[in-house]
Structure 1
Amino acid sequence: MKHSTTQQTRRGRGPARRIGRTLAFVLPVVLVLSGTLAVTRVNWSGNPSNSVLTAADAATASGASSRAVRRAPQDVLRDTLLTELQERDPGVALTHLQQAVHDRPSLTSHCVSIARALGRAAVRVYGPTRAQAYSRPVCDTSFASGVAAAHR
């Protein structure tokens, strides 16, 4: 009886080996390119001004884009409500914030920051005691926390 001690393997032909070779080639290339891009974003001059020219800045500088830059809806809403707070009172601004979040659910994630900004602005305009009187449970009482943060 003859016993065979050697087994033949498919060395070098399996899918894992092909994937390993591909990663061994591609991964260093990706790392070098991402490192190069990261280094180009660093301000090496020491000048605190923003010296990095982005693609949007380049398009504007070359005159390719003549349209005004569009602002995010939450920024427009925040500015509108802050103006309303100064012209009328914080109660009206909070009511309009609640209506805007109800009408546009995409603004829900920004409701807390807008309400806090309104609270801080109300303290500047009305003082801490009067501003706190306008507090209501809009966006988990974030208006009240903005009043408290501005009062410290």
Structure 2
Amino acid sequence: MIIGKGGEKELDVDKKQRELKSHGTFELPMEFYDCNNNVYKDLYMHWHKEMEVIYVIEGKIFLRLNDKYVEGSTGDFMFIAPETVHYLKSGDEPLRFKSLVFDIRILSGSSDDFCQNKIFHPLLLHQMKISDKITQSDENYENIKSIFFSLAGCC
């Protein structure tokens, strides 16, 4: 772990900006993190092979996803596709968020499964793009939120 100029924690990355931290275990390749801008005001540019889902509990979050900027606020879900170079920044107000980082292969099923062929495989091959953000006004938001926090409770 590297400590930034302002005392904030930063990530260990290699020369290609790949994050060196393991997320989860071999048996359960996923991990939840409770984060705030007292610890991570700025999370410098990095990437990882896992997918990341962020739920903004309070405040505003500013993400750079490759060459695109996305802003989220309280109640929003932010999605970071595998191998996406990203940077996270908070505003001056308090920011709290919960992050799920997981190996997308955990979603893998049998080769004749509908979801495997129409969702997982295209995601894995970067043939399908995931939305960068889901807000409270989006369809199925409450279902997504419920599932996210049920999963967090199990972990």
Q: Above 0.5 in TM-score?
A: no
With normalisation by structure 2, the TM-score equals 0.22
More helix by share: 1
Larger Cα-atom Rg? 1
More strand by share: 2
With normalisation by structure 1, the TM-score equals 0.23
